[in-house]
Amino acid sequence: MEAKNHWGSSFGFIMASVGAALGLGNIWGFPYKMGENGCFAFLIFYLLFVLLAGFPVLLAEFAIGRRGGESAPHAYGKFGTFYRWAGWASIAACMLILSYYCFFGGMVFHAVAELLGLSWGGHVFWSIVFMALSAAIVFLGVQKGIESFSKAVIPLLILMLVFVVLHTLSSAPARNELINLMTPRREDFNIRCAASALVQVFFSMSLGQGCMLVCGAYQRKKGNLAAQAIFIPLFDTLTAILAAFAILPAASAQGIDPGCGPTLLFDAVPKIFGTSKSGLIMTLLFFILVLLAAVTSVISMIETPSAALCASTGVKHSSAVLLITVAAFILGLPVYMSYGKPLSWLNVYEFIAEYLLITLVSVASCAAIIFGGSKQAITDIFGCDCMAGRIWIAVLKYVTPVLVTFVILSFIFSP
C-alpha cells in the first residue's frame, strides 16, 4: 500500500469511519424503519444488535483490511481463495447502494436548491451535481479529500442535528408524542421487527460493503484499533436516534403516520417546520444536514470500488473514481424511472444489497477471522492477546453468525 493511502491522524480515521457509516441510513432510513416497527421495540433490538453483531463485524472488517490491504477482494483473498468472493460481493453491494444513494442525494440536493430559490434543473441534474461533488472530494485523495472533509463536516453535522432535535422537542405536543411512541408494546416485539433492526444495523454502519475494510486498511498498523473503533458505533447510533427524535414526534404531532415509509423524510419535514420564515430556515437547515450526511457516506462508497478497480486493473485512481461514479449513476437509472410505481427497482436493489449481499459478506467476515487466524486478528485489532480480544472472537464464533442467519431466514420465510 502506498504511504499516501493512510489517515493523517487517529481523529481523522475516526471521523472518516464515522462519515462512512453516518449517512442517509441514519437520517433517512432509521426514522422511517423505526416508525414502521413499533419505535421502542425497534430501538431495543437495534441497540442489542449493535452490541452483538454490528461492533463485532466492524472489528472483523477492520482486521481484514488492516492485514489484507485496501482492495476488498484482495484483502479477503489473503484469508484463503474461497473468501475472495466475499470481497467482490461487498463491491457489488456497495455499487447497488451507491446507485440509489445517488438517486436520493439528488432528491435532497434538489430540495435544498428549491429552498434557496434555484428553480432550474430537475432531479436528474441535481443527482449529477451531487455525484460530481462527491467524486471531486475523492479525487483529492485520502488525507486531503476524504479525511479533511469528514473532520470538518461530522462534528458540524452532529451539532446541527442536536439543534434540530431541541427545536422539535420545544413543542409540548411533540414531547407528548415522543412519550407515546416510546411506550413499550408487547405485540411490537416480533421477528420482523428484529430482522429489520438487524439489517438496519449493517446498512447504517456500512458493513458488508467494503467501506469499513478500506477504512481499516488506510489506518496505520500500530496501536489499539478497538479503542478508536468504539467511537464509530457510538456516534453512528447517537446520530440515528437523534434523527428519529427530530422527525417522528413532530410528524406524529402533525397527524403524519410515523410508519408511512421511505417518503417520511421528504413529505414530513416541510410540514413539521411549517411555511413561516423561521420554518423555511429550519427546513433548509435540516435538508443541508441530510445532504452533508449523504456526501460523507458516498465518498467512502466511491473510494471502495475505486480501490478494487485500481488493484485489479492497474488504472489510475482518478480514472477509477470517474468510471465508478458514471457506472453508479447509470446503475441508478432504473430507480429513477420506477420510483413511486408498484414495482420499484429501489425495492429490488435494497433486497439484494441489504438482505442478501451485506448479510452474506458479514457472515463471511466472521468466518475469515475465526478460521483464518483469530490470534493474529486479536493482535491486529487490540495490539496484543487480551481477554477483550478473546471475548470478541467468541461473539464472532458463537453469537453473530447464528443471530444473523436465524433472523434473516425468519424474515424471508415469514408470512
pLDDT digits (tens, 9 = 90+) for 345-389: 888 898 899 888 998 899 899 999 999 888 888 988 888 888 999
The mean-pLDDT minimum among 223-232, 236-245, 350-359 falls in 223-232
Q: Where are the domains of the chain?
A: 10-413
Residue 258 has pLDDT above 50, yes or no: yes
Q: Taking 60 as the threshold, does the pLDDT of residue 4 lie above it?
A: no
| Pairwise pLDDT comparison (277 vs 398), residue with the higher score | 398
Helix H, strand E, coil C: the string for the chain is CCCCCCCCCHHHHHHHHHHHHCCHHHHHHHHHHHHHCCCHHHHHHHHHHHHHHHHHHHHHHHHHHHHHCCCHHHHHHCCCHHHHHHHHHHHHHHHHHHHHHHHHHHHHHHHHHHHCCCCCCCHHHHHHHHHHHHHHHHHCCHHHHHHHHHHHHHHHHHHHHHHHHHHHCCCHHHHHHHHHHCCCCHHHCCHHHHHHHHHHHHHHCCCCCCHHHHHHHCCCCCCCHHHHHCHHHHHHHHHHHHHHHHHHHHHHHCCCCCCCCCCHHHHHHHHHHCCCHHHHHHHHHHHHHHHHHHHHHHHHHHHHHHHHHHHHHCCCHHHHHHHHHHHHHHHCHHHHHHCCCCCCHHHHHHHHHHHHHHHHHHHHHHHHHHHCCHHHHHHHHHCCCCHHHHHHHHHHHHCHHHHHHHHHHHHHHCC
* Per-residue cell: 262: 421511505
pLDDT at position 411 is 65
Instruction: Tell me the pLDDT of the chain averaged across its residues.
Output: 85
Q: Taking the complete model, does pTM exceed 0.85, yes or no?
A: yes
Q: Is the pLDDT of residue 143 over 70?
A: no
- Average pLDDT in the 276-293 region? 83
* Residue closest to 28 by CA, chosen among 184, 196, 246, 207: 246
pLDDT, residue 2, reads 39
Average pLDDT over residues 16-21: 74
- Alpha-carbon span 56 to 67, nearest angstrom: 17
Tell me, what's the pLDDT at 241? 93
| Res. 5 pLDDT band, cuts 50 70 90 | low
Model confidence band, residue 47 (pLDDT cutoffs 50, 70, 90): very high
Rounded (5°) CA angle 295-301-304: 140
Residue of 124 and 391 predicted with greater confidence: 391
Q: What percent of the chain has pLDDT over 90?
A: 26
Determine the pLDDT at residue 3. Answer: 38
For residues 413 and 415, what is the distance between their CA atoms, to the nearest angstrom? 6
Q: Which residue has the higher pLDDT, 66 or 414?
A: 66
On the question of pLDDT at 268 being above 80, the answer is: no
| pLDDT mean over 171-192 | 90
pLDDT for 406 equals 75
8 A C-beta contact, residue 260 and residue 267: yes
The dotted CATH code for 10-413 is 1.10.4160.10
